[in-house]
Amino acid sequence: MGTPKDALVCGAGGFIGGHLVKKLKKEGYWVRGVDLKLPEFSETEADDFVIGDLRNPQVCRKVTDRPFDEVYQLAADMGGAGFIFTGEHDSEVMHNSAMINLNMVDICSKMRVKKMFYSSSACIYPEYNQTDADNPKCSEESVYPAAPDSEYGWEKLFSERMYLAYYRNAGLEVRIARFHNIFGPEGTWQGGREKAPAAFCRKIAETPDGGEIEMWGDGKQTRSFLYIDECLEGVRRLMDSDFTGPVNIGSEEMITINGLAEMIMGIAGKSISIKHIKGPLGVRGRNSDNKLINEKLGWKPSLSLEVGLEHTYKWINKQVQRASSAGHISIKTTEDSKGLGKTPSADILPAGNK
């Protein structure tokens, strides 16, 4: 059978990283995960798991102890609109994520890692191309002249350029994808860092039929959302290809935020009114442009938004009911959920201690 490929997943305690570990294990990989924490909602399937802070170069050197076949760099300081667009966390978001990327790309280059994936974001696209909710422009080449609407987006754009510089100057094989609003079960659903699909699933699950939920803005802003399984299929196809990227990994099924909430209400079988309030919004319109990924990789999403939301609502509703039956909904503060204030040592948890 031969020796299985080995992979390092940075950010393996998070939503996308946790799912990626499971997918790689199903494909026969030996997998090491690293993060500040273990996955919150299920046991990790990694062969070993390192609890460590990738802002610390010593941790990066410890986890990258071999020329891995594949490294997936998903670790970042991030969250939903309530975290990214307030302006209160800009310096820490840029510092923390940049430090992780600076450390990891350098050590992977020195260790002669065979291939490295970097998860960029649709947040890098210029705000001036996303003012029309009905006709946003997010094709890959439209990123310049650069004008992201958040410091999170600026850091992602800087890191893209850094990975490409290591590709040109050091021969590090990199693959770069720009994620567009990935959602699904086992993602953050409360505490201030959850994305829109999870936030509305939670609000609607908590609200009785005939009740009311709040929404930032008029709800006419548009987005597209990609289910986690589709995202991972795109990532694996990119890694197995000879295409460096950057390339969008997202859905072209654009919907208003009002429409998103109404779709979830339909799934829940509830009629709930929406109270529009002031709050951070981001760009007016954003939608993945999948022309390039279809051309280069022959890929496009096959799962509808509604089906993905059905899976997600079912899972979040269970979390809400479980918390409710325990007598409370445990809402973490943004500070508590951030988890980047400490610099733990790199402790390896072997299989069986997950």
* 1 falls within a domain: no
Q: How many helices (H) and strands (E) does the chain have?
A: 11, 14
| Residue 167 identity | Y
- Looking at residue 2, its pLDDT comes to 73
Q: Is residue 186 part of a domain?
A: yes
pLDDT at 329 over 60: no
User: pLDDT tens digit string along 80-121?
Assistant: 555 555 666 689 989 999 999 999 999 999 999 999 999 999
Domain membership of residue 216 (yes or no) is: yes
Spatial separation of the C-alpha atoms in residues 196 and 251, rounded to whole Å: 15
Per residue in 265-290, pLDDT tens?
Answer: 999 999 999 999 998 888 999 999 99
**The pLDDT of residue 325:** 81
pTM of the complete model beyond 0.85: yes
Q: Is residue 283 part of a domain?
A: yes
Q: What is the total count of domains within the chain?
A: 1
From residue 274, alpha-carbon distances to 96, 211, 214, 258, 265 in Å are: 36, 9, 6, 8, 11
Asked whether residue 230 is assigned to any structural domain, the reply reads yes
Domain of 257, in residue numbers = 6-350
State the distance between the two ends of the chain, measured CA to CA, in whole angstroms: 27
Torsions phi, psi of 168, nearest 5? -75, -45
Active site residues: 152
239/176 Cα distance (integer angstroms)? 9
Q: Is residue 207 part of a domain?
A: yes
Cβ atoms of 71 and 10 closer than 8 Å: yes
- The single residue listed with the structure tokens 């979040």 is 316
Query: 46: domain CATH number?
Result: 3.40.50.720
Residues belonging to the chain: 354
DSSP string, 272-325: -EEEEE------SB-----HHHHHHH-----S-HHHHHHHHHHHHHHHHHHHHH
Q: How many Å apart are CA 160 and CA 175, to the nearest integer?
A: 10
Q: Which two tokens stand for residue 144?
A: 């310049």
Residue written as token pair 């046991």: 43
Is 135 contained in some domain? yes
Task: Give the span between the Cα atoms of 272 and 199, in whole angstroms.
Answer: 15
Token pair, residue 72, equals 């997936």
Assigned domain for 290 exists: yes
| 333 has a pLDDT exceeding 70 | no
